[in-house]
């Protein structure tokens, strides 16, 4: 049944599931490369709406991951100078790139209102989530 839902609906449900299941996942969303532009565009998400629906490459944690192709774990957002605040309550963030055939096509972005909550288990888990999402998008 889930297989028949449009991709965006499935990703939306995934975001909601992650947010509801993991208490310190306060905001869960996907950003994708916006066509040929050097920017990210907000995709499905769960949590408070954000003004940052477009993020240029290099800007903020998300924009840096678009360029570095590496996980970015931020234990304390106040200690980052290249950071885009979406919500004043956010304390920490993790961004994990999403690859299709080795190409970084977007990312999962998670904000937490809990300080320093993310471990290597979150990184491994979110890498696995993104592999499943890549199968949906492929
Ligand atoms: N904090 C992110 C911007 C996206 S919001 O967290 C939803 C950043 O610095 O890239």
pLDDT tens figures, 14-32: 999 999 999 999 999 999 9
Token output for 56: 């240029």
Backbone angles phi, psi at 77, to 5 degrees: -65, -25
Is the beta carbon of 50 within 6 A of some atom in ligand 1?
A: yes
ipTM > 0.90 for the complex: yes
User: Domains of the chain by range and CATH?
Assistant: 2-137 (3.30.450.40)
Q: Relative to the CA of 80, which ligand 1 atom is closest?
A: 9
pTM of this prediction?
A: 0.96
Identify the CA nearest to 93 among candidates 80, 81, 75: 75
Is the beta carbon of 57 within 6 A of some atom in ligand 1?
A: no
DSSP 6: -
Pairing of strands 103-112, 27-33: antiparallel
């Amino acid at each position: 049944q889930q297989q028949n839902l449009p991709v965006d609906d499935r990703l939306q449900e995934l975001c909601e599931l992650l947010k509801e299941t993991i208490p310190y996942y306060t905001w869960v969303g996907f950003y994708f490369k916006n066509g040929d532009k050097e920017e990210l565009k907000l995709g499905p998400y769960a949590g408070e709406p954000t003004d940052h629906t477009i993020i240029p490459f290099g800007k903020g944690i998300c924009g840096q991951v678009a360029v570095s192709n590496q996980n970015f774990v931020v234990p304390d957002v106040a200690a980052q100078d290249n950071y885009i605040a979406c919500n004043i309550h956010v304390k920490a963030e993790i961004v994990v790139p999403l690859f299709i055939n080795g190409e970084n096509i977007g990312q999962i972005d998670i904000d937490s209102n809990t300080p320093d909550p993310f471990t290597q288990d979150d990184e491994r888990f979110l890498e696995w989530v993104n592999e499943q999402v890549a199968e949906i998008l492929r």
